[in-house]
Amino acid sequence: MMREELMRLIPHAGAMCLLERAERWTPEYIRCWSRTHHDAGHPLRRQGKVHAIHAVEYGAQAAALHGALLEDGDGESPSGALLVAVRKVRLYQAYLDAVDGDLLVEAWREQGDSAGMSYRFSVSGGDTVVAEGRLLVAGGRDEE
């Protein structure tokens, strides 16, 4: 699944859609890729750098995409879902743009129901983990 399809499923638009492709997903896992950390116009770039803390946003977008893919497949973005907590974040490098090549963004659903889901995420470049942590997403599609 490429970027154009991703943007139909997550609420992030334009340059703020940081993921470029999703390669594989199961009910418990998603694997995504991106090179946006090299873009001079990266929306989170400050003073010429993309700080590694922004790996949380990459992980959150992977989780959002995974949640959308788990829904009923009507092709619409989920409404009402909110990132409510970020926990146990570990940064192993200072800047994402220092990573050569693509970023591998992975998210594992640890538990979830209609009220929300918790995910573990990892962002790496090559064989090096750049950041990892946990996310809690509350809500989801509005009840009809």
Mean pLDDT of the chain: 88
Structure confidence at residue 38 (pLDDT) = 93
Cβ(130)–Cβ(54) below 8 Å: no
Q: Does 20 or 12 have the greater pLDDT score?
A: 20
Residues 12-38 have a mean pLDDT of: 93
Cα 125 → chain centroid? 15
| Secondary-structure percent of the chain, ordered helix, strand, coil, rounded to 5 | 25, 40, 35
Q: Domains of the chain (ranges plus CATH)?
A: 3-138 (3.10.129.10)
Residue 39 to residue 10: CA distance in whole angstroms? 21
Residue 25 has pLDDT above 70, yes or no: yes
DSSP 51: B
Q: Which helix (H) or strand (E) holds 80?
A: none
Q: Which amino acid is at 26?
A: T
Q: How far is CA 1 from CA 9, 17, 62, 112, 118, in A?
A: 11, 14, 12, 24, 23
- Residue with the larger pLDDT of the pair 129 and 114: 129
pLDDT over 70 (residue 19) = yes
With a cut of 80, say whether residue 46 has pLDDT above it: yes
The fraction of the chain above a pLDDT of 70, given in percent, is 90
pLDDT bin (cut points 50, 70, 90) of residue 6 is: confident
pTM across the whole model: 0.89
Residue 32 pLDDT exceeds 70: yes
- pLDDT for res 71: 76
Each residue's pLDDT tens digit, 55-105: 999 999 999 999 888 874 544 444 567 889 999 999 999 999 999 999 999
